Amino acid sequence: MNQDIEKTALGVMDIDEKTQMVSQPQSNATQMAMNVECPVCRTPNPPSETYCMDCGFLMSSAPVALVDMPEQVSVGKLVTSDGTREFPLNPGVNTVGRENSDVLLTHATVSRKHATITVENGKVYVEDAGSTNGTYVAGKKIGPGEKIELEGGCEVTFGSMALKFEAPEVEEVSGINSRNTEDSRNIENTEAEVSEPTVQIPEAGAESADEASEAEPVVDDVEGASASDAAVMEPETKDAGRLVSKDGKMSFTITEGTNSIGRRDGNGIIITDPYCSGRHAEIVAQDGKFTFTDIGSTNGTLVNGVKLDANVPRELQESDEITIGQTVFHIEVV
Q: Which pLDDT band, with edges at 50, 70 and 90, does 264 fall under?
A: confident
Interval 235-261 mean pLDDT:
85
Predicted pLDDT at 41: 79
Residue 116 pLDDT exceeds 60: yes
Q: Give 183 or 296, the one with higher predicted confidence.
A: 296
Q: What are 103's strand-pairing partners?
A: 96
Domain assignment present for 47: no
Classify residue 74 by its DSSP letter: P
Q: Which domain holds residue 321?
A: 239-333
- Of 82-86, 128-132, 243-247, 313-317, the one with minimum mean pLDDT is 82-86
Q: How far is CA 107 from the centre of its chain?
A: 12
Domain assignment present for 182: no
What would the pLDDT profile of 163-177 be if each residue is shown by its tens digit? 999 987 654 434 444
- Strand, helix or coil at 92? strand
Among 166, 187, 219, give the residue marking a domain's end.
166
The CA-based angle 85-87-91, given to 5 degrees, is 170
Among 120, 140, 166, give the residue marking a domain's end.
166
Percentage above 90 pLDDT, the chain? 29
pTM across the whole model: 0.34
Q: Are residues 162 and 243 in the same domain?
A: no
Which stretches of the chain are DSSP H helices? 2-33, 169-184, 190-204, 209-215, 227-233
